[in-house]
Structure 1
């Protein structure tokens, strides 16, 4: 009799535990994509993403490309948006990332930059604000940035350890409070030293262009600063002939050419 009662007690206890577990399960299938996104990002940051075409639209694309005019010639940048493979081609050089290694084809010695730092640099500036919605990112609301008497609310953005090649980098994204379009981007560079930096560079996002379903910059301008005050523009970079596709290019497109050098 005691054995039977003990079995019933164990069975009842296990059933209660199972029932408790079931009550804690959240069926994400009943949530809309907007609800899932709002559970992941701050509400105002979600509005910024929406103002630029929406995260859902961003995620449907597989390949992005744009031209970057330079005095020495035009660079064409192509990026796999899923795997973040990339390739830059110019008249006398090319470089890229094949998923494992950064490579450089520079037979005429015309390229004088730092390939490991540069290969995806302009893509990240161009694909704002969507790249700030990647995994492993933290958001914190910060005081508004005031420029010419206009206040631009914003977020401080940091990365979890090990995310990307420079997880100690920090970003400061500020947006127009009426349109929610991105307006200013501040960033620090820690790639070369590996240590946190207090020096912030500022970019103004003023000109936009519709690319597919997304609103992406057609030009960005760096500004100099003095005593934390934005001063005069320094340099403007234009993006031309941008295009986006739902299809991914074959891995061979990003593969290291036979005569290219692997960058250590």
Structure 2
């Protein structure tokens, strides 16, 4: 009889342990990662439509790092950017340009790259490449503007200006032009005011020729700069700029990746 009672007691303890283990494991099986809530109502409806067509602002905001290769005649460039801190590293065979905590550095074994251009260039291609998402940054003012008439298509436009003291060049202005049917971004008009001390009314134009899908986002594959006449694009200026080996994901490179190398110098010192 004692043996029977001991056997029953062991069985009850075994069932109880199994039940407790199952309760402890349940939260791990049903846990769902929180989704960032984004208030899209702060953006114009037209811009919301463009963002949705390109994969959505929520998907963009979930990403941590971006890398792409830009083939060039004088040597390929590999650009890597932390999408949260905006730290950047541009790697080539002859030099490196980077930024860490807002301080831009240049590393090279000779005087191949001019030091006075490093700050201007360090995040230039990042901004052009991350259209249209980069135009959702804080401190931006949106307004309506006239459509761009080009090749028989009327492209609606969204004008972008910056609040004072936002970014390196708060006086720069942009116009995003999108296809009226597909809602894809097609053109970018922009001014360059760095070093001029005042706003410019001279717009440059980029045609976003091709897009590629990477991790649920439509990102540029080809950009072409255009000649202008009367502040309107006329014909292509040179060959398209190609982007390959694109990677955008929710992991990051780590802060050490962006720190200044031993042979680097800060460009503003």
**Superposition TM-score tier, normalisation by shorter sequence:** 0.7 to 0.9
3-state SS of paired residue (1:163): coil
Mapped to 2, the partners of 1:166 and 1:156 lie a distance apart of 16
**Does the CA-based 8 Å contact 2:204-2:231 persist in structure 1?**
no
For these two proteins, the number of residue pairs brought into alignment is 231
Query: How far is the alpha carbon of 1:191 from its aligned partner?
Result: 1.0
* Distance in 2 separating the partners of 1:181 and 1:194: 34
How many Å separate the matches in 1 of 2:37 and 2:154? 31
In the other structure, the counterpart of 2:245 is 241
Shift of 1:33: 4.5
- In 1, the alpha carbon distance for the partners of 2:253 and 2:232 equals 43
What is the Cα-based RMSD across aligned positions, in Å? 1.3
Alpha-carbon distance between aligned partners in 1 of 2:249 and 2:73, rounded to the nearest angstrom: 28
1:102 to 104, 113, 117: 104
Question: Where in structure 1 are there 5+ consecutive unaligned residues?
Answer: 1-31
Residue in 2 that maps onto 1:40: 42
Cα deviation per residue 1:176-217 (whole Å; 9 max; x = unaligned)? 010100011000011121310011000001200011110011
Given that residues 81 and 87 in structure 2 are in contact (C-alpha distance below 8 angstroms), is that contact kept between their aligned partners in structure 1? yes
Task: Calculate the TM-score normalised by the size of structure 1.
Answer: 0.85
Can you give the 5+ residue segments of structure 2 that lack an aligned partner in the other structure? 1-35
Structure 2 equivalent of residue 217 of structure 1: 220
Alpha-carbon separation, structure 2, partners of 1:111 and 1:207: 30
Kept in 2, the 8 Å contact 1:224–1:234? The answer is yes
- Normalising by the residue count of structure 2, what TM-score does the alignment of the two structures yield? 0.83
Distance 1:97 1:229 in 2: 34
Which shows bigger deviation, 168-177 or 141-150? 141-150
